[in-house]
Structure 1
Amino acid sequence: MDSSSEGKKSSGKHVTGMELKYQGRKTSRANSEQRRRTILEAALRIVVRDGVRGVRHRAVAKEANVPLSATTYYFKDITDLITDTFTLFVEMGAQKFKAYWEESDSMLKMAMKELEPSDRTSRQVFADRISNLAIEYVLIQLKEHRDYLIAERAFQQECLRNENLRPIAFSHQKFFLDSLETFFSRIGSNHPDIDAELFASIILHVEYQGLVAGFEDERTAGRLRIMLKRQIELMLGIYN
Structure 2
Amino acid sequence: MDFPSEDSNGSGKLVGGMELKYQGRKTSRANSEQRRRTILEAALRIVVRDGVRGVRHRAVAKEANVPLSATTYYFKDITDLITDTFTLFVEMGAQKFKAYWEESDSMLKTAMSELDPSDSASRQIFAERITDLAIEYVLVQLREHSDYLIAERAFQQECLRNENLRPIAFSHQRFFLDSLETFFSKIGSSHPDIDAKLFGSIILQVEYQGLVSGYEGESLVGLRAMLKRQIELMLGVYH
Both structures adopt the same fold (TM-score exceeding 0.5): yes
Aligned to 2:5: none
Read off the aligned partner of 1:127 and give its amino acid letter.
Answer: A
Structure 2 residue runs of 5 or longer lacking an equivalent are 1-8
Q: 2:177 corresponds to which residue?
A: 177
The whole-number CA distance in structure 1 between the counterparts of 2:46 and 2:10 is 24
Which SS does the other structure have where 1:203 is aligned? helix
Shift in Å at residue 196 of structure 1? 0.2
Gaps of 5+ in 1: 1-8
What is the CA deviation profile of residues 159-195 of structure 1, one whole-angstrom value per residue up to 9, with x for unaligned ones? Answer: 0111111111111111111111111112221211000
Per the alignment, residue 55 of structure 2 pairs with 55
Is the 2:177–2:197 contact (alpha carbons within 8 Å) kept by the matching residues of 1? yes
Q: CA deviation at 1:120?
A: 0.6
**Amino acid in structure 1 at the alignment position of 2:41:** E
Show the 5 A alignment for 1:1-240: 11-14=11-14, 18-216=18-216, 218-239=217-238
Deviates more, 1:174-183 or 1:48-57: 174-183
Letter of the 1:236 partner, please give it.
L
Provide runs of 4+ in structure 1 moved above 2 Å: 13-19
For residues 110 and 239 of structure 1, the distance between their equivalents in structure 2, rounded to whole angstroms, comes to 23
Q: Distance in 2 between matches of 1:102 and 1:237?
A: 26
Report the secondary structure of 2:12's partner residue: strand
Q: Deviations over 1:11-52 (max 9, x none)?
A: 312458652210110111000000000000000000000000
In angstroms, what is the RMSD of aligned CA positions? 1.4
* Larger RCO, structures 1/2 (Cα 8 Å, 6+ apart): 2
Compared CA separation, residues 18 and 98, structure 1 to 2 (3 A)? farther
